[in-house]
A and B are shown apart, each in its own frame.
Chain A
Amino acid sequence: MARQALNAYSILIYIFLLLPIGVVVGASLNAGEFLTFPPQGLSLRWYVAFLNNEVFMRAIRTSLWIAAVSMVVSGIVGTMAAVYYVHYAARWKEHMRIAMLSPLLLPEVLTAISLLFFVYAIGIGTTTMFGLLVGHVLITLPFVFMNVTSSLEGYDPDWSTAAQSLGAGRWTRFRRITLPLIKPGVFSGCLFAFVISFDVFTISFMLKSIGSSTLPIQLFDYLKSNYTPEAAAVSTVSIVVTILVVVISEKVLGLRIHRF
């Protein structure tokens, strides 16, 4: 009895969670000129409109590019820091952890403003994408760090020791033993970094340079003055892209995990 009530309740919450997303997807198929409910027939016209809208297409390209760069940079920097944290850090371990997670613990608005002031203070300003990229790397770094750290916690240091006793040098140990074993963590950390960067708003909003609007910024600006379902079509494509990235990686990742 209690269990059934709990199940019913949970299903309500799941509906609540999916509702706005479902509504956006539904709205994108609206044939009408404006967002109306109930919809005036089904159509893919707004997808066509979106695909022909160079502003949105450029925003998607910018987003993907920034996400890829911050994923690679965070992936490398975060993995190195995680290896240090788990295997070498001794005295200031907890402090180091908090410092690594600080971009996540501090309000994003404050970080964004600080960085904005800083790039102006050092004379770069927002004429280039430098500040924007740094902001994205900072925001995504904790996700790589957390994922790699947790996969390293399951890593037995004796594996490295055993490899060393068998004659493997430092780099060989990392390449042949450590990296393959923490790959799932590195992989999911990078995946997180990519998805987070793709969706980050405040940092991008404050630090964007001319012509470097990411997709969320472009969508936000567009929605200030437009009410056509084109925005819903853009959103749906963005959702599908993210889900595809995650599902495909999960499959690949899943295979890797099953190998050992």
Chain B
Amino acid sequence: MQSASARPRAYLLLLPAAILLIVFMAVPYLNIFVISFRNPGQGTPYADGYTLLNYTRIFTSTLYQGQLFNTLWIGLVTTFITLVIGLPVAFQLGRADLRWRGLAYGIVLSPLLVGIVIRSYGWTILLGNNGVINRTLINLGVIEFPLPLMYNSLGIIIALVHVFLPFMILPIMSAVQSIDPALVSAARSLGAGRVTVIRRILLPLAMPGIQAGCILVFVLSLSAYVTPAMIGGLRVKTMAVTVVDALLDTFQWPLGAALALVLSAIGALIVVIFARATRMRWKVQ
């Protein structure tokens, strides 16, 4: 309840954020859209005049198509794996009676507090040909030659799963926490077994968290730059890496813009299809 006289100037509270988001988010996004239709420049980022060439180039080049496909594939696999391995942990963390809950929660949060460069660096130390994993296995006599864990999609996926696992666990955990424990007791009293309780009560109620986690991880995987750049090296390039290189190294702004927009559009399309398929209620949690 607010005094009627308090309203007129309240919008001033919103003004700074509105200016910030309009001038530095909305306008730049419009701008990038326009630039993606520009002619490529000679020694300049772009030239006068408009063209569809940047888009046709993407859809006719097998190189870009391959990278696009690979990026989407990595994103989907990463999302799937984080979901499968994160779900049980999220359910366990969501229980109020867990001992060591504070510690476990801290561990799940910890990767978020450690920079993404450092985490990816950790994985290069682990996955390299002379890395911790290969050395250990060779010294134990399990293998003779190093396993190819780095500079391929496998390495990228392993590292991305690690990097984004908290983003899967945390939303599901908070959804689980908001489930009234009495519902489980009620279901049990009505004759439901443990598995039925999970399948019929807990999973459906945790669904908003699962959806949010999946979308978050997928979108973050698509636009991840550091991890693919460090783990994939020059051999495996994801779209985000190509885009950044196109802009910073070769100064092909219109092409880079078009690539970034195509990737984002396809990502958004997949998110929408996913949301439809799982009957997501459109509400940002």
Contact = CB atoms under 8 A, between A and B. Distances in A.
Direct contact of A and B (CB under 8 A): yes
Interface of A: 2, 6-7, 9-10, 13-14, 16-24, 27, 35-38, 76-78, 80-81, 83-85, 87-89, 94, 96-103, 105-111, 113-118, 120-121, 134, 137-138, 141, 145, 157-158, 160-161, 164, 170, 195, 198-199, 201-202, 205-206, 215-216, 219-220, 223, 231-232, 235, 238-239, 242-243, 246
A238 B89 contact: no
Contact of A17 (B24, B136, B165): B165
Interface stretch (B57-65, B108-116, B200-208): B108-116
A113 B247 contact: yes
Interface in B145-203: 159, 162, 165-166, 194
Contacts of B130: 36-37
B111 A21 contact: yes
Contacts of A120: 45
Contacts of A215: 115
B119 A205 contact: no
Contact of B226 (A6, A106, A201, A231): A201
B277 interface: no
Contact of A13 (B28, B85, B118): B85
B115 A109 contact: no
B47 interface: no
B122 A19 contact: yes
A247 B263 CA distance: 39
A199 B115 contact: yes
B14 interface: yes
B284 interface: yes
A19 B263 CA distance: 32
Contact of A220 (B3, B21, B230): B230
B10 to A, nearest CB: 4
A81 B14 contact: yes
Contact of B162 (A17, A138, A205, A220): A17
Given A21-B119, A36-B130, A158 B256 contact: no
Nearest to A157: B1
Given A35-B125, A37-B135, A81-B17, 16 more contacts: A18-B107, A20-B125, A21-B114, A77-B20, A80-B16, A84-B14, A88-B13, A106-B264, A109-B225, A109-B260, A138-B21, A161-B1, A206-B248, A220-B230, A238-B115, A239-B118
B20 A109 contact: no
A205 B247 CA distance: 11
Interface of B: 1-3, 6-7, 10-11, 13-14, 16-17, 20-21, 24-25, 27-29, 31-32, 35, 45, 85-86, 88-89, 92, 104, 107-108, 110-119, 121-126, 130-132, 135-136, 159, 162, 165-166, 194, 219, 222-223, 225-226, 229-230, 240, 243-244, 247-248, 253, 256-257, 260-261, 263-264, 267, 283-284
B31 A114 contact: yes
Given A10-B88, A115-B28, A121-B31, A20 B123 contact: yes
B21 A99 contact: yes
Given A14-B107, A37-B130, A113-B32, A223 B230 contact: yes
Given A84-B10, A158-B1, A118 B119 contact: no
A14 B25 contact: no
Contacts of B135: 37-38
A235 B117 CA distance: 9
Nearest to A96: B14
B118 A80 contact: no
By CB atoms of chain A within 10 A, which of B7, B35, B125 has the most?
Answer: B125
Given A80-B17, A110-B223, A18 B110 contact: yes
A84 B17 CA distance: 11
